[in-house]
Amino acid sequence: MINEKDNEPKQTSSKRTEHPYFVWDSIQMIPQVLGQCLDDQVQCQAENIVNKIIEKKIDKLIFLGTGSSFFATIAEKYFFDETTPFLSWSFVTSVFKNYPPEFLDAKTAVFFHSHSGKTEGDDQVVEFAKSKGAFTIGVTDIAGSALAEVVDAVFIGPGGPKKEMPASRTYATAIFRMMILATKLGKALGKENHGKNFDQALNELPAMVKTFMQAYEPIANSNVSKLQDVKSFFCIGSGPNLSTADESALAFSQCAGVPAQSFELDNFIHGPLQTLTPGMGVVVIAAPGPLQDRLLRVARAAEIIGAKVVLVAPEDIQVEFSMDVIINMPAGLPELLTPVIYMVPLWQTAYHFGLLGRGGHPDRLSMDKPEFIEAFSYLMKKDKWVTKK
C-alpha cells in the first residue's frame, strides 16, 4: 500500500462503511480545534517564531505546501501582506524545489506546510533552504514527525493525526494559526493597528464557526438533494478565497468522487465559462471584497446558461435572482478572515454529496481499488521515466 504525504491508504482495517465516516468526525472537530489554537501552547509557539524572525532580521517570507496545504498558503499570503511589512510568496513545494528563487538567503523565512509532517521530499527541500541560510519553520499537526525533526522551528497545530484522506480540520487550523502568527508579527514590527483590528475577530471566530455549523448542518442534505444530478463542478473564487475555490474543488473530488476544477474569477470568464452546459455545477465564493459584484455576476451568468449554482455569500447582501443553493454566511467578517469559515459549509456539502454513492469513499475516495493502488505505486517510484540516449 502507498504511504505518501498526508494520505495513508494503508489503514484499510480502520475503514468505516457507515455514517459518519472519519471525515465527518474531522469536520465536526473544526470549531474545537480552532478554539485550541487560542490556547497558550499555540500562542507561545507563535511568539517564539516571531522573536526568531525579528532576531534574524528576516525581510522575506515563503509559504510552501502540497494539495490542501498549498491552498492554505494562498489565503495566508494575503493575510501576511496586509498585516506585516514583508515581501511574500506562495509555492507548491515541488515547484519551489525544482525552480528555487534566486533571492533565497539568510533573510528569508520558509514555512513548510504538511499536516502529517511526512510529505515525500520535504526534508530535502528543508535542507536546501537551510543551505542558503534560510530560517525554516514546519507548520504541521504532528510533533516528532519527519518534518518537525529537520526544521529550525515548529508550529504544531491541535487535533493530532487523522485517518481520512481529506484535510478539512487541518486546512482550517493551518490558516487560522498562521493568521494568529501574522497578527503577532505585524504588531511586533509596528503594524499594530492592523493587528488590533483582527485580534477580536480572530478570538470570536471559533464560536462563530460552531454556531454556523450547527445551523447549516440540517440544511446541507437538503441543498445536496438539489445538486444530486450534477456530474462535475467548477469552483470559482478570487483574492484570498481562491484558496477556498481550490479546496472546495478538492473536497468534491475527494469526498464525492466527482470531477471538480477550481478557477480564479477572470480566468474562468475567459474560457471555461463557455464550456458550461445545463446540469453542470458551479460553486461561486462571493465573500465581501472588491470583486464581490463581479462574482455575483458570474453566478447569474452560470444560472442563465442553465448550470446548477451554489452561491456562498454574506447573509446581508441582496441577491436579485434565483440560485439553486445559497449558503448564507455570517455578515461583517473581514474578507481576509473568510477563508477559515467559508470552506466549512462546502466541506459539509461535499461530504453529504459523497453519501449519494458515486463509487468513491468519503474517507479514502478510490484508494482501495486495485487499479488506483497500482497507479499510485507507479507514481511513487523513484526511478526516472525519461532517459536520455
Residue 132: domain span: 12-190
In this structure, are 30 and 158 located in the same domain? Answer: yes
In this structure, are 157 and 63 located in the same domain? Answer: yes
Q: Can you give the CATH number for the domain in which 331 is found?
A: 3.40.50.10490
In a domain, 23, yes or no: yes
Distance CA 30, CA 199 (A): 19
In a domain, 377, yes or no: no
In this structure, are 17 and 121 located in the same domain? Answer: yes
Give the residue among 108, 248, 112 at the shortest CA–CA distance from 178: 112
Per-residue pLDDT at 64: 97
pTM comes to 0.91
Average pLDDT by stretches of 10, the chain with 389 residues? 38 58 90 96 97 98 96 97 95 95 97 90 93 97 93 93 79 96 93 74 96 95 93 97 97 89 97 93 97 97 96 92 92 96 95 78 77 82 61
How many structural domains is the chain composed of?
2
In this structure, are 60 and 157 located in the same domain? Answer: yes
In this structure, are 164 and 291 located in the same domain? Answer: no
Per-residue pLDDT at 386: 58
Give the residue among 249, 333, 192 at the shortest CA–CA distance from 74: 249
Per-residue pLDDT at 383: 62
In this structure, are 18 and 120 located in the same domain? Answer: yes
Per-residue pLDDT at 21: 87
In a domain, 207, yes or no: no
In this structure, are 23 and 68 located in the same domain? Answer: yes
Per-residue pLDDT at 337: 97
Q: What are 308's three cell numbers? A: 446548477
In this structure, are 157 and 226 located in the same domain? Answer: no
In this structure, are 279 and 340 located in the same domain? Answer: yes
Per-residue pLDDT at 379: 80
Is the CB of residue 192 less than 8 Å from the CB of residue 186? yes
In this structure, are 115 and 243 located in the same domain? Answer: no
In a domain, 4, yes or no: no
In a domain, 217, yes or no: no
Q: Give the domain-ending residue among 174, 190, 206.
A: 190
Q: What are 172's three cell numbers? A: 482550517
In this structure, are 295 and 168 located in the same domain? Answer: no
In a domain, 365, yes or no: no
In a domain, 250, yes or no: yes
Per-residue pLDDT at 368: 75
The neighbour count for residue 83, using CB atoms within 10 Å, is: 24
In a domain, 325, yes or no: yes
In this structure, are 229 and 183 located in the same domain? Answer: no
